[in-house]
Every structure is written in C-alpha cells, then in structure tokens.
Structure 1
Amino acid sequence: MKNEKGFTLIEMMIVLLVISILLLITIPNVTKHNSKINTTGCDAFIKMVQAEVQSYYMDKKKYPETAASLAEEGYLQEGQTTCPNGDAIAISTNGTVTAQSAP
C-alpha cells in the first residue's frame, strides 16, 4: 500500500462540515428574501401587462375589461393572468393595471 493517494476520513468529514455550515448560512437568507423577490416579480409583471393593455388599446380603440380578455385575444399567454406571488391583476376602466392581494 505504498504511494496510495486519496482523502482520509478526517479530511472528508472536514469538507462536509464546511459545506454544511455554508448551507446553514445561505438557506435562511434565501428564504428571508423570497417575499421581496415575489414583489419585484409582480411589479415587473404589472409593467408588462400595462404595455399589453396599451397595445390592445391601439388595436381595438378600447381598454380590455380583464386580464383574461387580454389572454383570450392573444396579448398574454393562457394562465398568465396573475402575478408570480399569486396576486390577481385588475385593469381599471382607464387602462391602469394594478395587483389585488390574494385573500
């Protein structure tokens, strides 16, 4: 068994300990920022839907009644009528898009 190279059990355990500590540090930080990520995603989605409402208005000379009607006309993908965090999208009579919190 001369010149056999490899990791000892102690070295492997130290590596696993370091990886475990890094995971314990990063996972809580990711979950803590999850709501902020969803809110930012919802804001971006509202801006995208607002652009589609304006496009719909230019084509039809009227504002859509709901986000579902935008999807039916092909301005949004089917099933893409809510924010990533689950909030519903509302379109006012003057074409303003807002998010309504889910109950």
Structure 2
Amino acid sequence: MAQKKHSAFTLIEMVIVLFIISLLLLIIIPNVNQQKKSAENKTNHAFRTTLQTQVDMYEGQHPTWEILRKEHYLSDAQAKKAIDDGYEIEAGNVVAPHK
C-alpha cells in the first residue's frame, strides 16, 4: 500500500503567522483607543454646542435645565444628560464638566 502524503503547516509557519498577528494587534489596539477618545470628545463638544444654542434661544432670565425642558427647548433626555454629566449654566454660558 502507498502512503498518503499529508499536507499541514509546520510549527515554524504557525509561529510566524502568530507573530504577524501579534504585531498587527499591537499596531491596531492603541489606534482604536485613540479613535474612541476622539469620538467622545467630538460628541461632548457637539452636545455642549447644542445646549448653548438652546440657552441662547431662551428669552427668559436665568435659564436652568429644568426650565429649558419644561419650555421644550430641550428634550427630557437632553436635560437629564446635561444634569447627569454636570453641565452648568453660568451667566448665559454653558460650562462643560471638568473630567
């Protein structure tokens, strides 16, 4: 009987492949974290801009998040996020929380 020839990866080929995958992960993971932080910063800036626009549109004196919500300048979710995240209104300007 003739022996069948088995084709398979050698140990050295497997080590090389794992090494290449490890290098790619070392390059990709820090970049993903940086992109996440950048997206969070842009989202926070956009939210602060939205809040400032609504404060500017309010014609009354001394707006608060609750007043802006009741007067329909902000949605319930926006007012809750502004309060929960620590945004404040000082002299008509929205101040972002210090994180």
TM-score normalised by the chain length of structure 2:
0.58
- What is the RMSD of the two structures over their aligned residues, measured on CA atoms? 3.4
Note the C-alpha offset of 1:99: 0.8
> What's the counterpart of residue 28 of structure 2?
26
- Uncovered stretches (5+) of structure 1, i.e. residues with no partner: none
One of 71, 87, 94 as aligned partner of 1:89:
87
Note the C-alpha offset of 1:96: 1.5
Q: Which has the larger radius of gyration?
A: 2
- Uncovered stretches (5+) of structure 2, i.e. residues with no partner: none
* Higher RCO (C-alpha 8 Å, min separation 6): 1
Q: How many residues align?
A: 92
2:60 is the alignment partner of 1:62 = yes
What do residues 42-64 of structure 1 show as CA deviations (whole Å, max 9, x unaligned)?
Answer: 22211011122234x1xxx3156
> What's the counterpart of residue 52 of structure 1?
54
TM-score normalised by the chain length of structure 1:
0.56
Percent identity among equivalent residues? 30
